[in-house]
Amino acid sequence: MSQELFKALKEGVVTIEFTKIDSGELRVMPCTLNNDISKQTLEIKNYNTNGTMIMYGLDVKAWRDVKIDTIKKWYTGYPNA
């Protein structure tokens, strides 16, 4: 899952559904690693994880790290309405 997710994040917008560690609530976050979309200059060139993946949260306009084992599902595009 992780390598495919990383590739999708580099290409465009991905919605991640994961369980927040601190509250246990389900978080639905549109995110990306595409600098054209995020307007950020940080570039992550290759995938390397210690169980956590960094991504730019488009709704909060900030970098977030997500523990891979908390991800329930992900899909390309913005959150389903």
Structure tokens at 10: 């580099």
CB atoms within 10 A of CB 29: 20
Put simply, whether the predicted model's pTM sits higher than 0.85 gets the answer yes
Contact in structure between 55 and 66 (CB atoms under 8 Å): yes
Cα 4 to the center of its chain, rounded Å: 12
Residue 2 binned pLDDT confidence (cut-offs 50, 70, 90): confident
Q: Tens of pLDDT along 7-66?
A: 999 999 999 999 999 999 999 999 999 999 999 988 777 777 688 999 999 999 999 999
Structure tokens at 68: 């891979």
Domain ranges for the chain:
2-76
Our CA dihedral for 56, 62, 66, 71, rounded to 10 degrees, sits at -70
